[in-house]
């Protein structure tokens, strides 16, 4: 049991993944996190940032071009997989029981996000954990026009990967000492990423509280 818990912790540790798993593990995780319903807990934003940073500092045996296009392809293909899954499963997904790897509340959260922003949720949602995983699935559930999905998918992946991976790379080239503060950077990225979810949950709580008083 202790070994299983250690393996799970390592799966969530981007530094460990980059140092021991390298390029292929990063690509696999990005693919899973951007479209497979059980990938919602995997590291996303800060993994991309550290991937670029590690390339700049020579801590991983792959150049930034290969890393960039590998992550970009994984992000696009992951959304396609999510869309196909949602398209095939449809409303059945909402009836699925909760498990360790699936939470129905996340699907509902993605549904509300998608209804609010429409297809652009696939672009905005790239920068929001959980939404990043379930938005393409829900796009498949509602059978969003495939041409629109294709456009939003590619554009969202391009912006997400370019901003985070290249920011990590160029900061690493300009300021190599930034590696000494990587823990603080990860915490900051997590806080920024989960802020929209925290705000949404707070609004929902206030709304429910107000409704209960009436």
Residue with tokens 């992000």: 75
Average pLDDT for 95-117: 72
**Higher-pLDDT residue of 83, 190:** 83
pLDDT for 103 equals: 67
Average pLDDT for 182-191: 78
Integer Cα distance of 74 and 25 in angstroms: 11
pLDDT for 20 equals: 63
Cα 196 to chain centroid, rounded:
14
Render the burial of 4-24: b for 16+ CB within 10 Å, e for the rest: eeeeeeebeebbebbeebbbe
Integer Cα distance of 1 and 8 in angstroms: 11
3-state secondary structure at position 99: strand
pLDDT range class, residue 110, cuts 50, 70, 90? confident
Integer Cα distance of 71 and 50 in angstroms: 12
**In the 8-state DSSP scheme, what is residue 96?**
P
Residue with tokens 């150049």: 63
pTM over 0.75: yes
List, for residues 117-147, the tens digit of each pLDDT value.
Answer: 778 888 988 988 888 888 898 888 888 899 9
List, for residues 4-24, the tens digit of each pLDDT value.
Answer: 333 334 444 566 667 666 788
Residue with tokens 């929001």: 128
């Amino acid at each position: 049991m202790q070994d299983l818990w250690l393996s799970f912790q390592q799966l969530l540790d981007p530094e460990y993944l980059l140092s021991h798993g390298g390029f292929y593990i990063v690509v696999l995780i990005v693919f899973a996190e951007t479209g497979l319903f059980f990938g919602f807990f995997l590291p996303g934003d800060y993994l991309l940032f550290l991937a670029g940073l590690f390339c700049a500092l020579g801590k991983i045996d792959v150049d930034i071009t290969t890393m960039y296009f590998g992550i970009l392809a994984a992000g696009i293909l992951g959304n396609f997989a999510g869309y196909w899954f949602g398209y095939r499963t449809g409303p059945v997904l909402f009836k699925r029981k909760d498990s360790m790897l699936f939470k129905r509340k996340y699907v509902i959260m993605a549904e509300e996000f998608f209804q609010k922003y429409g297809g652009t949720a696939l672009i905005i949602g790239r920068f929001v954990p959980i939404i990043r995983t379930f938005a393409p699935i829900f796009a498949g559930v509602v059978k969003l026009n495939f041409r629109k999905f294709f456009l939003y998918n590619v554009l969202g992946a391009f912006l997400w990967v370019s901003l985070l991976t290249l920011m990590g790379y160029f900061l690493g080239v300009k300021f190599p000492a930034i590696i000494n503060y990587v823990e603080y950077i990860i915490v900051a990225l997590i806080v920024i990423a989960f802020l929209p979810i925290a705000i949404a949950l707070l609004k929902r709580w206030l709304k429910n509280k107000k409704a209960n008083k009436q």
